[in-house]
A and B are shown apart, each in its own frame.
Chain A
Amino acid sequence: MSWTVFVVAIVNAMLINNVILMQFLGICPFLGVSKKSSSAIGMSAAVGFVMIIASLVTYTIYSLILVPYGIEYIQTIAFILVIASLVQLVEMILKKFSKSLYKALGIYLPLITTNCAILGVAEGNISNIYSSDISFISGFGVAGFTALGTALGFGLVIFAFSSIREKLESSNVPESWRGVPISLVVAGIMSIAFLGLAGVI
């Protein structure tokens, strides 16, 4: 498999099929944790961290356990449990071995358990990438790079949005448009801007 496949997977997941603006997943942290740039960076780092690990683990479980036994129909419930366990595990490891990383990401980790972007990427990897024609290693690699691209796209959008919101705080916005209304208008304009990237690859 050529390396261009992995580059395309990253660019596609990051810009063209952006998880927030094109797939409308992860809207809760997009609107809830984007008031300050610092919290947006922390949240996107935590989401990216869990998203990549979750994608690799769920792809492995699907390929090596669910498909051989013909029990693909339990994939959603299995993925939810895997993601929830993974978040607990990651939080525990950070508490124990990386206090600085826990300080940066720790408070965002419980929120990720219910983040639909993580489950969406795991499910998307199965429906878009998994095929009996490609080897496990190739599929595993593409799933990992897709998760990386999705995490970068999530970070890019949430950081850009938080920067705009910070700027809007000090701008002269009409009273009735302050806060959530103007934020939703900005999100809509950003989504339209990302539509322009459709068809690049």
Chain B
Amino acid sequence: MNFIIEHFVPIMLIVVLVLLYVLTYKLNKMTPVPEECKEDIDLAACNTCKNFACSLKG
């Protein structure tokens, strides 16, 4: 029993958290960006740091 707790629970927890991240990422990507915010997103889109205030856009 101790062996299972020591080795199985941490692996399962990390797998669950990774799956949770993948799920939230997919759901976030599927959620449409509001029309009035699209311009801001385009402004922030950049090849480097994606920093809105950055003046070194690539």
Whether chain B is bound by chain A comes out as: yes
Seen from chain A, the residues whose Cβ lies within 8 Å of a Cβ on chain B are 32-36, 39, 42, 65, 69-71, 73-74, 77-78, 81-82, 84-85, 88-89, 91-92, 95-96, 99, 102-103, 106-108, 110-111
**Complex interface: chain A residues within 8 A of B6 (CB):** 70-71
- A138 nearest CB across to chain B (Å): 25
Judging by beta carbons under 8 Å apart, are A88 and B41 in contact? no
Residue-wise interface mask of B (33-58) relative to A, using a CB-CB cutoff of 8 A (1 in contact, 0 not): 11011001101100001111111000
Judging by beta carbons under 8 Å apart, are B51 and A33 in contact? yes
- Bound state CA distance, A1 and B12, in angstroms? 36
Q: A96-B31, A106-B37, A106-B41 are in contact. Are A77 and B14 (CB under 8 A)?
A: yes
Instruction: Name the residue of chain B whose CB is nearest to the CB of A96.
Output: B31
Judging by beta carbons under 8 Å apart, are B53 and A39 in contact? yes
Number of interface residues of B (CB under 8 A): 31
Judging by beta carbons under 8 Å apart, are A84 and B21 in contact? yes
Residue-wise interface mask of B (6-20) relative to A, using a CB-CB cutoff of 8 A (1 in contact, 0 not): 100110011001101
| Cβ of B25 under 8 Å from chain A | yes
**Complex interface: chain A residues within 8 A of B43 (CB):** 107
Secondary structure of the B contact surface, majority rule: helix
Judging by beta carbons under 8 Å apart, are B31 and A74 in contact? no
Secondary structure of the A contact surface, majority rule: helix
- Bound state CA distance, A91 and B28, in angstroms? 7
- Bound state CA distance, A73 and B36, in angstroms? 44
Judging by beta carbons under 8 Å apart, are B52 and A85 in contact? no
Instruction: Name the residue of chain A whose CB is nearest to the CB of B43.
Output: A107
- A83 nearest CB across to chain B (Å): 10
Partner of B37, one of A33, A78, A99: A99
- B56 nearest CB across to chain A (Å): 10
Judging by beta carbons under 8 Å apart, are A74 and B54 in contact? no
- A162 nearest CB across to chain B (Å): 9
Q: A82-B17, A85-B20 are in contact. Are A36 and B28 (CB under 8 A)?
A: no
Q: List 19 A-B contacts (CB under 8 A).
A: A35-B55, A42-B52, A69-B9, A74-B10, A78-B13, A78-B14, A81-B18, A81-B21, A88-B25, A89-B24, A92-B24, A95-B28, A102-B34, A103-B37, A103-B40, A106-B33, A107-B41, A111-B50, A111-B51
